[in-house]
Amino acid sequence: MDYLAGLNPQQRAAVENTEGPAMIVAGAGSGKTRVITYRVAHLIEKGVDAFNILVLTFTNKASKDMRERIMKVVGDEAKNIWMGTFHSVFAKILRVEAEKIGYPSNFTIYDTDDSKSLIRAILREMQLDDKLYNANFVYNRISSAKNNLVSHTEYLENKEIQAEDSSNKRPLLGVIYETYAKRCFKAGAMDFDDLLFKTNILLKNHPDVLNKYQQKFRYLMVDEYQDTNFSQYTIVKKLAAAYQNICVVGDDAQSIYAFRGANIQNILNFERDYPELQVYKLEQNYRSTQNIVEVANSIIANNKNQLEKNVFSDNESGSRIRVQRAFTDNEEGKIVAEAIVQDRTSNGLHYNDFAILYRTNAQSRAMEESLRKLNIPYKIYGGLSFYQRKEIKDLIAYFRLTFNPSDEEAIKRVINYPKRGLGDTTVEKIIVAADKYNITMWDVICNPSQYIEGRIAGQLNDFALLIQSFMAEAKKLDAYETALYIAQHSGILKELHTDDSIEGRSRYENIQELLNGIKEFAEREDIEDRSLAIFMQDIALLTNDDRQDDKDKDTVSLMTIHSSKGLEFKNVFIVGLEENLFPSQMSVNSRSDLEEERRLFYVAVTRAEKKLSLSYATSRYRWGTLTNCEPSRFISEINARYLEIEVAKPTKSLLSEDGFNEERRTWTQQREFAAKPKMSSGPAAGSPAAPRPKTTTMLPKAHVPSPGFAPDPANAFQTGMDVEHEKFGFGKIVNLEGSLPDVKATVFFQGLGNKQLLLKFAKLRIVK
């Protein structure tokens, strides 16, 4: 059989052994999809009826790609395989069996917006505080219950759940869940989670139906098994119980969806359910260079909760992994953009060979702006462009109204957001009046009683006064102060802050990131006019070409790491590797959460084929305050032999008293990277705290201080900071000990080595 010839021994064994329970542990880049498709093709070649094969995936794209590959081997018979996502396959089954659980066969499937709209209606009817009982929160709570197979009846009867809701001051969540479930049932509708929840009910309460599908699906395959939740696990286990010809494929090291309910224990404990399990390990990585694979291995080795495997690569060794430090997130964006230009030019690459991966969507702003400044085309994947996101457009609409109240599109966008009783009917009346009297919508809003009949004049007056207050403040405040005032008084910040769902937190972070960008703009010294009006003009220029960029296939890819799973690129930049960002602040208090963050980093690293770059900033703006950042602990977990640490130093040329023009102070360190140096009396021999230059630079005999040299106070210094001394020149703080005012610093000065200084007397300046 020709399709077997190209498989390595481990892949071939996984394809040919089709009887009984099997688990294929597929490392990153190990040819997982090929093994799945060839295994299914092999079943058909052996005479198994395609109608008796069920293949479950997590994306429609994966199903489509697999079916096309199988067709190349077995032809049109592949069309008869039951293959698709969990939701699509079981929706198909429910259409046939729906009447057994009281639903019509043509039941409606509610999407997320439908579900949240119904929840909001229920909250209004129950006259509940929609801040406390936020629709997103309620939706996520109900979704979680269903994914754990907890019905509304069981929810209300469970004393622990009720106690938890009461302690969180939401005692009526169970009643809302019950009302929501009954309203969906009355409407003949199932939401997305119901497609699995109701399938479990069907198989549990109707043994004849369970037996029917056990006989039908004699061979089951589940892709990305590490991403299954309890509901999915239960369905698969029931269906496979009769013949136990179940094969699951996955990689515990790539389990990154716990926030969606995925349970890594499903794959870690699979052998408990099937003691006769055959395990096949696909350990050869065909995607990445040896260095990238070894970096990934050294990262994931720090996780205790994992399946044992030894991933390796026979590809070329490749270049070391570049680690770059920036002083700010804007500089980080600049470093990445410039590296893309350089790598593309020198290596003959295309833009689509590059990807920039980040932990949160908010991080895209600095990257986007830097790419645009160098005319680098890009596309945001798994999300909208930063300035096209709803929450950003909403706040910017308020900005637009502040400087041009005649902007009708801005009026229509925010007149009732946050809600203030000025809905669609009111907007229609305003538009009719404006057209009738040939005036602007703003003119109508400012004088509502002259143009509109009814009781809405008070609300319109309040809205007009709100915008007029923004206009007045904009004349007195700088860009950042104006933007913050508008964000606070418009109600947007409060609206998003009360939404504690994953989506709500992300939108809140995006608003914070926009304000951070405005803060940086307001502090620029290279432009005269730093008003919010000018910032708005810059934003308009930045976003004009979005559509054109989207049409261009040769674009740099920007995405969160979660969105990158399953993809691969020649060159990958992982940005924002800082404590409390990656790993996230919410993950560092428990081992399980931290291990998931580490798996997320592993996924990011293994997207790279040829070249991998890591970067972090030593400072980021948070709510207008410049905050110092520590490098991520994940960097220090990487075996140092695979790293090339690059530290950009000040680039101004300094003229020594001997007339030597000092070269640009940049060096490359190949050393162990310590994210959190320990406090001690001084670095030991061979300590990573004492970097050695890769090349020798000509140093002046005496240091000439930078123009305007001014020392910083003793309480401003932290380990890892770059500093300047009047006499010793530029250096790096490698250790601090003692307490104020008698803090002693160990500083490494290039060409001079380590020196210990009392900060209160040292006269050090922080290099920014």
CATH value at residue 462: 1.10.486.10
Which pLDDT does position 545 carry in this prediction? 33
- State which amino acid sits at residue 172: L
**How crowded is residue 307: how many other Cβ atoms within 10 Å of its Cβ?**
18
Angle, helices 173-186 vs 112-125, to 10°: value is 120
Which pLDDT does position 538 carry in this prediction? 64
Question: Residues 501-557: pLDDT tens digits?
Answer: 878 888 898 999 899 989 988 887 767 778 887 787 666 545 333 333 344 479 999
8 Å CB contact between 677 and 651:
no
Residue among 141, 379, 607, 620 flagged as catalytic: 607
In a domain, 680, yes or no: no
- State which amino acid sits at residue 753: G
Task: Among 513, 537, 558, identify where a domain stops.
Answer: 513
Note whether 333 and 361 are same-domain residues: yes
In a domain, 532, yes or no: no
Note whether 67 and 203 are same-domain residues: yes
Closest alpha carbon to 247 in 231, 268, 269, 225: 225
Note whether 112 and 94 are same-domain residues: no
Note whether 596 and 628 are same-domain residues: yes
Q: Which residue has the tokens 């538009």?
A: 431
How would you classify the pairing of strands 556-560 and 354-358?
parallel
CA 765 to chain centre: 36
Exposure string of 748-768, with b = 16+ CB inside 10 Å and e = fewer, is: bbbeeebeebebeebbbbbee
Give me the residues paired with residue 613 across strands. 322, 573
Task: Among 187, 218, 238, identify where a domain stops.
Answer: 187
224 given a catalytic annotation = yes
In a domain, 246, yes or no: yes
Residue among 224, 251, 495, 724 flagged as catalytic: 224
Q: In 625-728, where do the E strands start and end?
A: 625-628, 643-648, 666-669, 722-725
In a domain, 73, yes or no: yes
Rounded to whole angstroms, how far apart are CA atoms 616 and 739?
Answer: 28
Q: Which helix (H) or strand (E) holds 117?
A: helix 112-125
Non-local (6+) Cβ contacts of 9 within 8 A are none
Helical segments of 187-328, H only: 194-205, 207-216, 230-240, 265-268, 270-273, 290-300
Rounded to whole angstroms, how far apart are CA atoms 412 and 390?
Answer: 14
CATH value at residue 268: 3.40.50.300
Helical segments of 525-612, H only: 532-543, 546-551, 561-564, 591-605
Which pLDDT does position 411 carry in this prediction? 87
The residue segments making up the domain with residue 760 are: 721-766
In a domain, 125, yes or no: yes
Note whether 152 and 183 are same-domain residues: yes
In a domain, 668, yes or no: no
Closest alpha carbon to 32 in 347, 179, 251: 251
Q: Is 33 annotated as a binding residue?
A: yes
Residue among 33, 59, 265, 278 flagged as catalytic: 33
Q: Which helix (H) or strand (E) holds 188?
A: none
178 given a catalytic annotation = no
Residue among 85, 254, 306, 618 flagged as catalytic: 254
**How crowded is residue 652: how many other Cβ atoms within 10 Å of its Cβ?**
10
Rounded to whole angstroms, how far apart are CA atoms 195 and 60?
Answer: 16
Residue among 97, 223, 499, 578 flagged as catalytic: 223
Note whether 202 and 94 are same-domain residues: yes
Helical segments of 314-384, H only: 329-347, 364-373
At 630, give phi and psi (nearest 5°).
-100, 145
Instruction: Show the tokens assigned to 429.
Output: 């009346």
In a domain, 239, yes or no: yes
Closest alpha carbon to 245 in 53, 24, 42, 62: 53
How would you classify the pairing of strands 729-737 and 744-749?
antiparallel
DSSP one-letter string for 618-667: SEEEETTEEEE-PBPHHHHTS-GGGEEEEEEPP----B-TT--BPPP-EE
Q: Is 31 annotated as a binding residue?
A: yes
69 given a catalytic annotation = no
Closest alpha carbon to 605 in 557, 561, 670, 640: 561
Q: Is 32 annotated as a binding residue?
A: yes
Instruction: Show the tokens assigned to 396.
Output: 């910017």
Which pLDDT does position 694 carry in this prediction? 35
How would you classify the pairing of strands 278-282 and 378-380?
unpaired
Note whether 269 and 328 are same-domain residues: no
Residue among 10, 32, 228, 332 flagged as catalytic: 32
In a domain, 711, yes or no: no
3-state secondary structure of 198: helix
Non-local (6+) Cβ contacts of 547 within 8 A are none
Closest alpha carbon to 327 in 721, 15, 667, 697: 721
Task: Among 513, 535, 566, identify where a domain stops.
Answer: 513
8 Å CB contact between 14 and 24:
yes
Handedness of CA 652, 658, 659, 665 (dihedral sign): negative
Q: Is 738 annotated as a binding residue?
A: no
The residue count for the chain: 768
Note whether 359 and 257 are same-domain residues: no
Closest alpha carbon to 184 in 121, 130, 126: 121
8 Å CB contact between 616 and 296:
no
Helical segments of 348-407, H only: 364-373, 390-403
Q: How many domains does the chain have?
A: 5
Handedness of CA 70, 72, 78, 82 (dihedral sign): positive
Rounded to whole angstroms, how far apart are CA atoms 422 and 726?
Answer: 63
Non-local (6+) Cβ contacts of 15 within 8 A are 4, 7, 35, 38, 39, 42
Tell me the longest C-alpha to C-alpha distance in the chain.
94
Cα dihedral value 658, 660, 661, 663, nearest 10: -130
Note whether 553 and 623 are same-domain residues: yes
Q: Is 26 annotated as a binding residue?
A: yes
pTM tops 0.75, yes or no: no
Q: Is 238 annotated as a binding residue?
A: no
Query: Residue 718 to residues 376, 583, 679, 683: CA-CA distances in angstroms?
Result: 36, 21, 12, 16
Note whether 461 and 321 are same-domain residues: no
Which pLDDT does position 548 carry in this prediction? 37
Closest alpha carbon to 463 in 532, 511, 405, 508: 405
8 Å CB contact between 236 and 222:
yes
Which pLDDT does position 383 carry in this prediction? 56
Question: Residues 145-196: pLDDT tens digits?
Answer: 999 999 999 999 999 999 999 998 999 999 999 999 998 888 788 888 999 9
Note whether 163 and 262 are same-domain residues: no
33 given a catalytic annotation = yes
At 682, give phi and psi (nearest 5°).
170, 155
Using CB atoms within 10 A of its CB, is residue 708 exposed (0-12), middle (13-18) or buried (19+)? exposed
Q: Is 298 annotated as a binding residue?
A: no
Note whether 419 and 490 are same-domain residues: yes
Residue 584: DSSP 8-state = B
Taking 50 as the pLDDT cut, the residues of the chain under it are 541, 543-552, 649-701
324 given a catalytic annotation = no
CATH value at residue 175: 1.10.10
Query: Residue 640 to residues 298, 323, 485: CA-CA distances in angstroms?
Result: 10, 11, 47
260 given a catalytic annotation = no
Rounded to whole angstroms, how far apart are CA atoms 767 and 651?
Answer: 11
Rounded to whole angstroms, how far apart are CA atoms 664 and 649?
Answer: 8
